Structure 1
């Protein structure tokens, strides 16, 4: 894999798994994250060729190189830092725009600072990365993988602000795909279901007040009670990202995980049913069934 990848959120979760796979394939990975220690670990893996599954294959196994970029993507200079990293690398073939975190709580109870912060990271920083990388991606007719979520397509009680941030990423990405179509750049939105990553370690939860205990409280209680087997293997998502990046004609959206497919399908059916039921409103004559 003689290509250059830029991966945000590369220090943990899906980002780290994708970075390891890209390195194992011989790519140059511009690894972006806040944690310098995790970035150093990734760079060391590349240097020592420890990504080879068997030690005796280490010399023959392809292995790439890492350019670690310790960066807060909400910082004022983030776009310039990323653009310079891409220039220094000589271009860019694949962007995995993956950084973000979760916030769960009743819409009313998420204060302005928390709401602003999640949009700063999950939406505005995503745009910062796109602005920094799109010139190089156009030149390479490259690929863009935008990490969303199954709940970027709909919302659960408690997920309103997080779902809104991922929904914004979904629609930005859809528009971007149309806008970039003549350039040859392909955009795919990755919609993972529930997987066993470090997502929960950065998850922020606003405890519900009494009025929201039957909805938000019940949902959070039920979610916390899920057994370990309810959480998928995150390798599945990393493998899907690697595979879709190679497709000549990738999908715009890719739901990963049986729960993602199930819940997104149910949401779409519900929306279509509601559209059909109310399409004549308010033109239905009085007394006639809607």
Structure 2
């Protein structure tokens, strides 16, 4: 049976690949993106009537209304892939308020606007919500503070949402990709570190830029993962994609557990005293 999908950030990267995959299954896709030329490419790729192109900046004040009207016009919505995002890397101190606001507006507030616009239809369909996060939605590297904070917010928003919509039959999955070869790296904003952060942020950025091509995974793996979880009756809340994501998230969780255990006596010291 065909279904209706809404994909944000549909004109490049994971969003483009998921859109192509969904079209290949015979689904109707509402493809949301900012680039008119890329949207036109998708229209030409899709079967006639198979794609609704929405040229939209999700941070615009009227974006939520536009999306809600589009979903109503489509008549239903079965799958949301909330994928649009903006990359910002640099030392915390070196990122000014304007740039910090831009990454949070795009990655958090726009994500929420998309959810508000689509959840009424998704509830009716007992649909699926796929939220694109990152392996650094679970931890942070030097330089990733603002971006990781935005993806960490998406993680916790999505976890709460999963609890809230569970009685309605809507399922939520957070996709946590590792390092993949998409246009993301070419389009992200990097704030050069000042001298104080050269040993940490500067070194990390230099080392990362020197990674060989084989260090970057095949982005089709992420699109395939999205298609797989959408088809599951009981999908996972979180799915790390890529060997590096699995390895590094596992190491981060172990480190946090070890720290919790190491400092448990201090954590409980107040309780012992009050007793």
TM-score by length of structure 2 reads: 0.96
Residue of structure 2 equivalent to 1:78: 63
> Which residue does the alignment assign to 1:90?
75
Unaligned runs of 5+ in 1: 49-63, 286-290
Q: Structure 1, residues 3-26: CA drift from partner, whole Å, max 9, x if none?
A: 000000000000000000100110
2:44 alignment counterpart: 44
Alignment length, in residue pairs? 270
Alignment of 1:113-124 (within 5 A): 113-124=98-109
What does the per-residue CA deviation read over 1:15-40, in whole Å, with 9 as the maximum and x for residues that have no partner? 00000010011000000000011001
Query: What are the within-5 Å matches in structure 2 for residues 36-185 of structure 1?
Result: 36-47=36-47, 65-185=50-170
The yes-or-no answer on 1:9 pairing with 2:9 is yes
C-alpha offsets along residues 79-128 of structure 1, whole Å, 9 cap, x if unaligned? Answer: 11000110111110000000001110000110000000000000000000
Structure-1 residue corresponding to 2:273 = none
* Runs (5+) with no aligned partner, structure 2: 271-275
Residue 254 of structure 1 is aligned with which of 231, 239, 242?
Answer: 239
Distance 1:132 1:208, change over 3 A: same
**Among residues 264, 268, 273, which one is paired with 1:279 in the alignment?**
264
Distance of 1:239 and 1:284 partners within structure 2: 48
Choose between structure 1 and 2: higher helix proportion.
2
| Alpha-carbon distance between aligned partners in 2 of 1:282 and 1:89, rounded to the nearest angstrom | 53
Find the aligned partners of 2:103 and 2:163 in 1 and give their Cα distance. 26
CA deviations 1:59-95 (Å, max 9, x no partner) are xxxxx70000000001111011000110111110000
Q: In the alignment, what sits opposite 2:250?
A: 265
Which residue, out of 208, 211, 215, partners 2:196?
A: 211
**Aligned in 2, Cα 1:26/1:279: closer, same or farther, shift over 3 Å?**
same
**Displacement of 1:200 after TM fit?**
1.3
Rounded to whole Å, the distance in 2 between the matches of 1:65 and 1:20 is 11
Q: Residue in 2 aligned with 1:53?
A: none
> RMSD in angstroms over aligned alpha carbons?
1.2
Q: Using the alignment, how far apart are the partners of 1:171 and 1:279 within structure 2?
A: 24
